[in-house]
């Protein structure tokens, strides 16, 4: 609820529109989750995740439980901006204040995916056969749509919005084999690791965007990044690190995250989904490297805000994105031992 207010905080038309759209998006998502929960309760007689699992394992819940779980999945699909539930996300990201957008695409996405993982890995593994196809399709379509539509964007906020949608597809890959008990621990760890990787990289990229944003929402076009390497070389270097990490290019944490993710999906037997992930990652290189080309190969006169907090955030996240790629074990161990 506070995010609805923050999205419309600046009282500009675009910001107010973003707040209303985000509210409607949240209302739709909540409606699906509540209705799905009601059906699950009707099928099992409980809202306890463990109780739902026991009831589902007994085989007496039937179709009603599956429909309820599917509706809950749709609700969470709105929350994490998975296709085809992503419709308002780019407009909300573009219209909201940039600092709020940064939190939406990082903190809100963590909450959505952790809740989704918690619910489905705990309550619904016994009906995974009914949901695997849906999760596979959601993941594949989200990766494809997010990356292809991002190619045509010239506004950095809209580009990162579609990037966020694409990365939701990558994270959803970890959910596809959740019904396989042998692969589930590795899949959960890979999904959480990639989520942490994405959030770290994403937060740094948005810090650069905030640094270059001027009053009245100016400085948000890709052309505004022209010449950044000559005037602000450290800022350009940091943004380059973030773009390479989004692609999954070594030596960045994004490369390690995608390696773990693709390995888990292949171990679960979903080789075709891993191939789609690799191909769409290669496609994403076009629009991510376009930012780098503008910074290093185009002439311009960008003006960055000299804010110590932003400089610190950008530096720390850029350094961590590179350094942690050489020692990812402790972060993966942290993801592996996460309480679900």
Which pLDDT does position 337 carry in this prediction? 76
Q: Which residues of the chain have pLDDT under 50?
A: 215-216
Which pLDDT does position 3 carry in this prediction? 63
Rounded Cα distance, 133 and 108, in Å: 26
The number of distinct structural domains making up the chain is: 1
Query: Which residues span the domain enclosing 235?
Result: 2-336
Per the CB < 8 A criterion, the answer to whether 153 and 287 are in contact is: yes
Closest by Cα among 333, 166, 169, 201 to 265:
169
pTM metric for this prediction: 0.87
Which pLDDT does position 262 carry in this prediction? 92
Angle between helices 184-212 and 308-323 (to 10 degrees): 150
Per the CB < 8 A criterion, the answer to whether 68 and 38 are in contact is: yes
Computed over every residue of the chain, the mean pLDDT equals 83
Could you read off the pLDDT of 107-137 as tens digits, one per residue? 778 888 888 888 887 887 777 777 888 889 9
Q: What tokens were used for 164? A: 């966020």
């Amino acid at each position: 609820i506070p995010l609805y207010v923050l999205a419309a905080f600046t009282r500009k038309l675009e910001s107010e529109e973003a707040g209303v759209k985000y509210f409607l998006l949240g209302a739709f998502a909540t409606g699906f989750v509540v209705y799905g929960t009601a059906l699950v309760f009707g099928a099992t007689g409980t809202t306890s995740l463990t109780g739902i699992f026991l009831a589902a394992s007994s085989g007496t819940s039937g179709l009603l439980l599956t429909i309820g779980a599917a509706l809950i999945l749709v609700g969470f699909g709105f929350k994490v901006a998975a296709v085809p539930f992503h419709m308002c996300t780019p407009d909300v990201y573009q219209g909201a204040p940039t600092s709020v957008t940064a939190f939406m695409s990082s903190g809100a996405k963590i909450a959505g995916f952790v809740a989704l993982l918690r619910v489905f890995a705990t309550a619904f593994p016994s009906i995974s056969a009914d949901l695997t196809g849906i999760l596979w399709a959601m993941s594949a379509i989200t990766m494809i749509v997010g990356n292809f539509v991002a190619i045509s964007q010239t506004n950095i906020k809209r580009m990162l919005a579609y990037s966020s949608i694409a990365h939701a597809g990558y994270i959803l890959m970890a959910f596809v084999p959740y019904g396989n008990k042998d692969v589930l621990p590795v899949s959960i760890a890979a999904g959480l690791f990639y989520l942490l990787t994405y959030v770290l990289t994403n937060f740094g990229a948005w810090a650069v965007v905030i640094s270059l944003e001027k009053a009245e929402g100016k400085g948000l076009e890709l052309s505004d990044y022209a010449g950044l390497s000559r005037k602000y070389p450290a800022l350009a270097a940091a943004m380059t690190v973030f773009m390479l990490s989004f692609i999954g290019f070594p030596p960045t944490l994004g490369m390690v995250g995608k390696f773990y993710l693709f390995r888990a999906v292949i171990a679960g037997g979903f080789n075709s989904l891993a191939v789609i992930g690799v191909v769409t990652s290669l496609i994403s290189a076009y629009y991510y490297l376009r930012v780098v080309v503008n910074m290093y190969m185009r002439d311009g006169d960008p003006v960055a805000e000299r804010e110590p907090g932003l400089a610190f955030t950008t530096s720390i996240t850029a350094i961590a994105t590179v350094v942690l790629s050489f020692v990812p074990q402790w972060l993966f161990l942290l993801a592996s031992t996460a309480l679900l």
